[in-house]
């Protein structure tokens, strides 16, 4: 009986540890997610920085990265240069420019969950599942 309790407690502790590790990256853009691929991330980043919309889309599709959500309804080849500027401003921490471009593109402020300590996805729409 005592060994059973210790065994069950041990399994429970391992399950908690694994669950904490799996969900640790959620909402934190500095933590790499389980699907992070540095090669794919670098290729998508290079396509973004070069302003190559067709390559950006191709790489996202080829690497099975998310292609849903408001951003993919709004961003197209004609306004990709604005999205590129938004990306650069975000990396530089220029929130004023980020907000201005987001408004110009009609992207709003991303997912927000109320005023009581909610959560925001931040870079998630840009990086999808690769981070």
Q: How many CB atoms lie within 10 A of CB 76?
A: 11
Assess contact for 66 and 54: CB atoms under 8 A.
Answer: no
Over residues 10-39, mean pLDDT: 66
Name every residue whose Cβ is closer than 8 Å to that of residue 67 and which is 6 or more positions away in sequence: 57, 60, 61
Task: Provide the pLDDT for residue 28.
Answer: 64
Q: Is the pLDDT of residue 37 over 90?
A: no
Over residues 95-122, mean pLDDT: 69
Q: Is the pLDDT of residue 93 over 60?
A: yes
Task: Provide the pLDDT for residue 20.
Answer: 53
Task: Provide the pLDDT for residue 114.
Answer: 42
- The average confidence (pLDDT) of the chain is 76
Work out the pLDDT band at 29, boundaries 50, 70, 90.
Answer: low
Proportion of the chain above pLDDT 70, given as a percent:
65
pLDDT digits (tens, 9 = 90+) for 50-72: 999 999 999 999 988 888 888 88
Q: Which residue has the tokens 């302003």?
A: 51
């Amino acid at each position: 009986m005592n060994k059973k309790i210790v065994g069950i407690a041990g399994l429970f502790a391992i399950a908690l540890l694994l669950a904490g590790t799996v969900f640790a990256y959620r909402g934190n853009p500095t933590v790499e997610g389980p699907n992070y691929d540095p090669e794919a991330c670098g290729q998508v980043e290079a396509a973004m920085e070069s302003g190559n919309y067709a390559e950006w889309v191709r790489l996202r599709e080829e690497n099975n990265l998310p292609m849903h959500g408001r951003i993919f309804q709004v961003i197209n080849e004609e306004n990709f240069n604005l999205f590129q500027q938004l990306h650069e401003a975000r990396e530089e921490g220029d929130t004023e420019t980020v907000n201005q471009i987001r408004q110009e593109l009609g992207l709003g402020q991303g997912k927000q969950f109320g005023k009581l300590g909610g959560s925001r996805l931040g870079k998630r729409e840009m990086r999808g599942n690769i981070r």
